[in-house]
């Protein structure tokens, strides 16, 4: 796919909505278009977190292997959502497993490439961190609500 | 109110006469009487069963009866009982059911048609009765038992000629003078030289009963003395509660630090709700016999201070003492106004007197009034 | 029915009439009882005298089990069908456990219907977003039936439904059926799952990521655990849905359902007769307070 096309995909993804065109241009070289057929394991716990993904279509499941508890599916992500942030924080390793549970089309962004761009241009870095913080906040809030186990009504 | 010409004066014999007339008409006559060093309400046969010559000394968390230096029939204020125990009984059977194969049959309980005559209802209590009328006879539903009892009740009000230290009816505009809602009202005047009762009727039935006992027209002096006694009670209220803007004040201060303060003292014992003449919360319980073939449903007084009160499947909405006290007080003084158009408090002071740790609703309100957060 | 007897001169004439005691249940027969999930079951009931039972979506009944007591349960059947009615019940306490053990042909007591209702006629011409969690789908099902009865009078219908696990999803056949209807989107999500679950996992508010709302033209009905409703309403408001266009159904302890027992008070509201369905703007000021 041509870089112009990827720039359209980037601009159209809600994570990068209203990002200044020059920033899109800056990160364009870190981006690549990817496709994971249904059932693909996108990344595994412990592996180096080289990339993150802007999901365009399809659905990704994040699983945690609870060892004796087996694999537990903790969250699914779909179109418009962002998969992965371990690339952002040292030691850049995935903590969970991710599977495509549908044919998934996404834009992959290379972590190291993006980290370097952000070091060179702190304004870009700040803009991206703000967007990631929003996602982290929403995910943390959702996880905390999940912790409540709101639908359980113990017999007392 | 009657015009001054119809105001009568009677002696104690006439009051006994009224009681026996009521009894002859089938009324159960109930009034204040002394029991276990407390003035309570119970069935009385005649005036000799009233706490003659007794009074009470009340303060926050404090109640003692004391001898008076006269033989007044009504020389005290309200005790731990209120008339709600008759109209809204602490225990009421709702229905019984008996198993019948795969089904069961419901046996209804005949509505209580007892005719009560309440003797010695204070103005605050008249207001309390009228407040409970709105609860149990609301725009949608009627409690048949309450309505039945209430409609049959004959009320003899007694105007307070002294105020207790925990009384604050004057500030609630609920006393001390009984203005409506009675069949007869009595003001007792007693001094070393005279002892008489100024009587007014408030209904045709009251007028009828009064016409059957010996009365005289009250003189202006007698009326003046009676009024002066009531005015004196009004001026000598032990406490006051400022009600201006109280609904918004409390609803806007649901997180006021005072709630934590009172919660640290409150035992959530529910005494205040049991003695309150307007508190109406109740619970329903099932009682089964050992065969499992017969069951009864009973309604019982409940309290918003009990932990189970706000329990639901899977949790409980109000567990902290703070939330439970706040529920009680904001209901009584604020949300009650939205629900029923009046305050739920009549200023009788029972909740103050009978609180084991002496929590004083007037002080709690004032603490928020003096230092509102919002 | 109780009778006020006697003829007392004190008694005003109008009270010498029969007052129906609102605490006495009517007897109903269980026509059907079946499990929806591991801990949730549905009963179909019919009055002993076979009289019809009319109700509005969102209203509830007090169901009485012989010797056990009463439980407030929403009616979950189609309001257009009044010969028999359905209740879907989460088995959580003594009364509901006993109810779950009853058999076809057994008798229960019913008082009702009580409370306010979802008035779907207010949503004519609009998009309707239904956000439900857990057993909260049951009180909303009559509203959904009513909407489908006059489907053309509404615009888009979106149902966002969260449950604990895949096995806890209620009315799966109907959900499937609704989702296949034109201009209807049904999105479900569960809080926890295993690799066999191919649907969404996450809280119900996550589902807002996958829909585009025409917020100014959207009305919403929200029903589920109170905290789930709080987060859902926050999300709706964030997306631009007007507070006055959001409706919710609240739950409190209920003993009488007629405003006598005081248990269900929510500041000045009695959930039993002023609710359970409220417009959000009616209760907004108290909704975010703790322990009310």
Which neighbouring-strand residues pair with B294?
B98
Q: What is the mean pLDDT of residues B79-98?
A: 97
Nearest to B199 by CA among B181, B228, B178: B178
| Minimal CA separation from B315 to chain A, in Å | 8
Task: Work out the pLDDT band at B138, boundaries 50, 70, 90.
Answer: confident
- pLDDT, position C18: 54
For residues B361 and B347, give the distance between their C-alpha atoms in angstroms, rounded to a whole number. Answer: 10
Query: Minimal CA–CA distance to B191: which of B68, B77, B58?
Result: B68
Does the pLDDT of residue B4 top 90, yes or no? no
Beta strand pairing call for C184-190 and C200-201 = parallel
| pLDDT for residue B202 is more than 50 | yes
Report yes or no: B51 and B68 within 8 Å, Cβ to Cβ: no
B162, B116 in Cβ contact below 8 A?
no
* Same-domain check for residues C232 and C208: yes
Return the closest-CA partner of residue B250 out of B173, B317, B351, B344: B344
B neighbours by CB contacts (3+ pairs under 8 Å): A, C
Tell me whether residue C140 is in a domain. yes
Q: How far is A79 from chain B (nearest CA, A)?
A: 35
Percentage of chain B modeled with pLDDT above 70 = 99
The CATH number linked to C237 is 3.40.50.80
Contacts of B45 (CB under 8 A, 6+ apart): B19, B23, B29
Whether residue C263 and residue B310 make contact (CB cut-off 8 A), yes or no, is yes
Same domain, residue pair C45 and C87: yes
**Measured distance CA(C4)–CA(B151) in Å, rounded:** 11
Q: What is the mean pLDDT of residues A77-102?
A: 94
Residue C291 lies in a domain: no
Domain end (from C65, C96, C113): C113
The answer to whether residue C9 sits within a structural domain is: no
Classify residue B281 by its DSSP letter.
-
Residue C273 counted as domain residue: no
Give the predicted TM-score (pTM) of the model.
Answer: 0.92
Domain A3-148 carries which CATH code? 2.60.120.10
Same domain (yes/no): C196, C142? yes
Contacts (Cβ under 8 Å, ≥6 apart) of B270: B303, B305, B306
Query: Which pLDDT tens digit goes with each residue over B281-338?
Result: 999 999 999 999 999 999 999 999 999 999 988 889 999 999 999 999 999 999 999 9
Residue C144 lies in a domain: yes
Query: What pLDDT was estimated at residue C17?
Result: 46
Is residue C174 within 8 Å of C137, Cβ to Cβ? no
Residue B267 sits at φ, ψ, to 5 deg, of -90, 0
Domain ranges of chain B: 4-235, 246-370
State how far residue C228 is from chain B, nearest Cα, in angstroms.
14
Residues C89, C189 within the same domain: no
Find how far residue A36's CA is from the centre of its chain. Answer: 14
CB atoms within 10 A of CB C34: 9
pLDDT of residue B5: 57
Query: Are A61 and C201 within 8 A, CB to CB?
Result: yes
Of the residues A39, A76, A102, A140, the best mutation for testing chain C's interface (the one with the most C CB atoms within 10 Å of its CB) is A76
- Cβ–Cβ below 8 Å for B141 and C90: no
Q: Is C259 on the interface with A (CB under 8 A)?
A: no
- C131 close to C220: Cβ distance less than 8 angstroms: yes
Answer yes or no: is pLDDT of C14 > 50: no
CA distance B191 to B229: 11
Same domain, C51 and C81: yes
Question: Residue B359 has what pLDDT?
Answer: 98
pLDDT at C4: 36
Q: Same domain for C198 and C224? A: yes
Contact status of C262 with chain B (Cβ, < 8 Å): yes
| pLDDT score of A4 | 65
Interface test with B, best of A149, A155, A156 (most B CBs within 10 A): A156
Q: How many residues does chain C have?
A: 292
A152 vs B contacts (CB less than 8 Å): 314
C266 assigned to some structural domain: no
d(CA A73, CA C166): 12
Q: What is the total residue count of chain B?
A: 374
The reported pLDDT for the residue numbered C195 is 85
**Band (C5; pLDDT cuts 50, 70, 90):** very low
Tokens of C45: 């009931």
Of the residues C113, C132, C163, which one is the last residue of a structural domain?
A: C113
Cα–Cα distances (Å) from B281 to B270, B350, C256, in that order, read: 11, 17, 10
Structural domain for C60, as ranges: 26-113
- Provide mean pLDDT across the span B227-248: 96
Q: For residue B71, give the DSSP letter.
A: -
For residue B169, the surrounding DSSP H or E stretch is: helix B169-172
C-alpha to C-alpha distance for B160 and B168, rounded to whole angstroms: 12
| Angle separating helix axes C226-238 and C280-287, nearest 10 degrees | 110
The pLDDT score that the predictor gives to residue A2 is 65
């Amino acid at each position: 796919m041509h870089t112009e096309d990827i720039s359209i995909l980037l601009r159209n993804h809600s994570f990068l909505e209203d990002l200044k065109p020059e920033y899109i241009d800056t990160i364009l070289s870190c981006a690549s278009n990817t496709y994971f057929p249904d059932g693909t394991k996108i990344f595994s716990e412990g592996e180096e977190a080289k990339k993150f993904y802007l999901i365009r279509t399809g659905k990704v499941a994040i699983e945690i292997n609870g060892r004796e508890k087996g694999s537990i599916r903790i969250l699914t992500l779909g179109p418009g959502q962002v998969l992965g942030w371990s690339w952002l924080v040292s030691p850049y390793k995935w903590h969970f497993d991710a599977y495509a549970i549908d044919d998934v089309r996404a834009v992959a962004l290379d972590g190291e490439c993006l980290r370097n761009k952000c070091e060179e241009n702190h304004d870009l870095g700040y803009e991206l961190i703000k967007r990631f913080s929003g996602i982290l906040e929403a995910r943390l809030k959702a996880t905390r609500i999940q912790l409540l186990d709101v639908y359980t009504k113990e017999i007392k | 109110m009657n015009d001054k010409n119809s105001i009568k004066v009677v002696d104690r014999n006439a009051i006994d006469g009224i009681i026996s007339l009521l009894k002859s008409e089938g009324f159960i006559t109930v009034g204040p009487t002394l029991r276990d060093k407390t003035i309570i309400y119970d069935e009385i046969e005649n005036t000799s069963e009233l706490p003659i010559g007794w009074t009470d000394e009340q303060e926050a968390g404090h109640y003692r009866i004391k001898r008076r230096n006269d033989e007044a029939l009504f020389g005290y204020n309200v005790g731990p009982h209120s008339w709600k125990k008759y109209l809204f009984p602490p225990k009421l059977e709702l229905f019984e059911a008996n198993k019948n194969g795969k089904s069961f049959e419901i046996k209804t309980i005949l509505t209580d048609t007892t005719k009560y005559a309440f003797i010695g209802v204070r103005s605050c209590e008249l207001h309390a009765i009228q407040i409970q009328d709105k609860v149990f006879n609301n725009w949608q539903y009627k409690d048949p038992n309450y309505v039945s009892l209430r409609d049959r009740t004959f009320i003899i009000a007694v105007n307070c000629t002294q105020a207790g230290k925990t009384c604050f009816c004057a500030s609630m505009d609920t006393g001390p003078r009984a203005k409506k809602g009675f069949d007869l009202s009595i003001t007792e005047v007693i001094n070393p030289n005279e002892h008489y009762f100024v009587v007014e009727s408030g209904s045709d039935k009251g007028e009828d009963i009064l016409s059957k006992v010996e009365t005289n027209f009250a003189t202006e002096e007698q009326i003046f003395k009676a009024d002066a006694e009531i005015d004196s009670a009004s001026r000598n209220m032990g406490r006051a509660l400022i009600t201006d803007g109280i609904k918004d004040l409390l609803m806007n201060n649901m997180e006021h630090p005072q709630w934590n303060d009172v919660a640290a003292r409150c035992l959530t014992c529910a005494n205040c709700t049991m003695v309150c003449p307007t508190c109406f919360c109740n619970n329903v319980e099932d009682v089964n016999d050992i065969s499992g073939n017969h069951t009864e449903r009973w309604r019982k007084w409940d309290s918003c201070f009990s932990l189970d009160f706000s329990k639901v499947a899977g949790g409980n909405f109000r567990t902290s003492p703070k939330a439970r006290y706040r529920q009680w007080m904001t209901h009584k003084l604020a949300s009650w106004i939205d629900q029923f158009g009046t305050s739920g408090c009549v200023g009788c002071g029972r909740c103050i007197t009978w609180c084991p740790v002496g929590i004083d609703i007037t002080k709690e309100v004032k603490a928020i009034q003096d230092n509102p957060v919002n | 029915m109780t009778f006020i007897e006697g003829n007392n001169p004190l008694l005003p004439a109008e009270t010498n009439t029969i007052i129906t005691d609102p605490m006495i249940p009517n007897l109903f027969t269980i026509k059907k009882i079946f499990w929806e999930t591991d801990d949730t079951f549905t009963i179909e009931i019919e009055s002993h005298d076979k009289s019809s039972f009319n109700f509005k979506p969102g209203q509830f009944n007090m169901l009485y089990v012989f010797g056990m007591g009463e439980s407030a349960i929403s009616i979950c059947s189609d309001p257009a069908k009044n010969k028999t009615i359905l209740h879907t019940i989460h088995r959580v306490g003594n009364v509901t456990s006993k109810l779950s053990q009853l058999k076809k042909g057994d008798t229960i007591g019913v008082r009702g219907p009580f409370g306010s209702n979802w008035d779907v006629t207010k949503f004519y011409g609009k998009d309707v977003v239904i956000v439900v969690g857990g057993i909260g789908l049951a009180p909303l099902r009559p509203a959904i039936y009513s909407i489908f009865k006059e489907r053309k009078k509404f615009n888009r219908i979106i149902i966002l439904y969260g449950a604990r696990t895949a096995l806890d999803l209620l009315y799966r056949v109907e959900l499937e059926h609704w989702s296949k209807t034109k201009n209807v989107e049904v999105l479900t999500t569960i809080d926890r799952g295993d690799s066999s679950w191919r649907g969404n996992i996450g809280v119900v508010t996550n589902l807002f990521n996958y829909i585009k709302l025409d917020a100014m033209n959207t009305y919403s009905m929200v029903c589920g655990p109170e905290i789930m409703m709080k987060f859902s309403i926050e999300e709706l408001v964030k997306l631009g849905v007007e507070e006055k266009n959001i409706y919710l159904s609240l739950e409190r302890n209920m003993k009488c359902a007629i405003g006598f027992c005081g248990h269900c008070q929510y500041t000045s509201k009695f959930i039993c007769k002023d609710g359970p369905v409220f417009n959000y703007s009616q209760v907004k000021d108290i909704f975010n307070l703790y322990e009310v």
